[in-house]
Amino acid sequence: MTFKFAHNNLNVLDLQKSLDFYDQALGLKETRRINSPDKSFTLVFLSDGVTPHKLELTYLRDRKEKYKLGDNEFHLAFTASDYAGAHAQHKAMDCICYENEKMGIYFIEDPDGYWLEILPNKR
């Protein structure tokens, strides 16, 4: 028996705001959407267009309070083919929340407070 990654999920408060962020910050595009029959939730799958891995955004219609992310010790990581260009773009978006210049990495924060690690393409 073997297993392979399918997707990661993040719950979001404002679906459109999150879709705009992930498109602008990381170029992720919607590939699939599932609306529950009663419209209580929506699942949107995003793709980088290169790998088969997907990011699933879950929007719960009746959720009004922010998600409690605890210590937020988990994260997703992305490589950037143009690390300097990505850094400049994210700085202009004012979404960089942590930088470790010694390690050559930084993190951006999405609208719900999730951290996303940005790495150079080749390490």
* Active-site option among 56, 65, 101, 117: 117
- Catalytic site residue 101? no
Distances (CA, A) of 6 to 21, 40, 46, 51: 22, 24, 12, 11
Give catalytic residue positions: 117
